[in-house]
Amino acid sequence: MLMRPSGVRSSGSLPSRACPEEPGIVSVSPLPFRQGVRLAVDVGSVRIGVARSDPGGVLATPLTVLRSGPGALAGQARAELARLAVGEGAVEVIVGLPTSLSGRDGTAAAGAREFAADLAGRLAPVPVRLVDERFTTTEAHGALRRGGKDARARRQVVDAAAAAVLLQSALDAERATGRPAGQLVRAGGRANPGDGANPGDGTEA
């Protein structure tokens, strides 16, 4: 089941311009930047928040929230997310990695890694990447509160808003460094840290 969040807007980013040297790449600096729609996912045990970027990869906005849960519900949510990514023409999907403040993995991070590996298998060859999502939910709650949403209303859209915060951070990081953010995930396998040295296609260095 899809729930369309409303009244949530993501912060803006730097304007882009075409890069004459390489068609399909936009840039606001000498660094290359891949063009195309990205999706980002905030994984929860009950809800999965999804955000989308514009084709230029400049602005992230909340897209929808998928119902999830144990067993078959989780499988249905993952299948629906894969269909959504194909339907949106996503060139990449980013999954939030909920590490601790110290940067260590816990139970939630292990679940996100398994989710990302499963999604990579469903979407191959579209790349799936894990990106640190610390503080994204807190930032999303703050933005929604400033936008006038009460606690009950925030619960309905915060997962998609958190995914938008995550995606905007990843877009801004790639624009600043010329390299995709996070870790590329192998289909059915583990993430490869430090592999973002190939910004042209999102593959391993």
pLDDT digits (tens, 9 = 90+) for 36-55: 999 999 998 899 999 999 99
Q: What are phi and psi of 100, to 5 degrees?
A: -75, 175
Residue 33: pLDDT band (50, 70, 90) is confident
Domain ranges of the chain: 33-187
3-state secondary structure of 13: coil
CA distance 26 to 32: 7
State residue 21's pLDDT score: 42
State residue 135's pLDDT score: 55
Task: Report whether pLDDT(138) > 60.
Answer: no
Question: How many Cα atoms within 13 Å fall on the side-chain side of residue 83?
Answer: 9
**Which residues in 4-91 belong to E strands, given as ranges?**
17-18, 26-27, 38-43, 47-53, 60-67
Dihedral angle at the C-alpha atoms of 25, 27, 29, 32, nearest 10 degrees?
A: -30
How does the average pLDDT of the chain come out, rounded? 76
For 17-30, what is the mean pLDDT?
47
Q: Which residue has better confidence, 167 or 6?
A: 167
CA distance 182 to 197: 11
Residue 74: pLDDT band (50, 70, 90) is very high
List 95's β-bridge partners, or say none: 41, 130
What is the maximal distance between C-alpha atoms in the chain? 49
Task: Report whether pLDDT(146) > 90.
Answer: no
Residue 18: pLDDT band (50, 70, 90) is very low
State residue 31's pLDDT score: 77
Q: 33-187: CATH homologous superfamily? A: YqgF/RNase H-like domain (3.30.420.140)
* Tokens 């933005």 belong to residue: 143
State residue 41's pLDDT score: 96
State residue 99's pLDDT score: 78
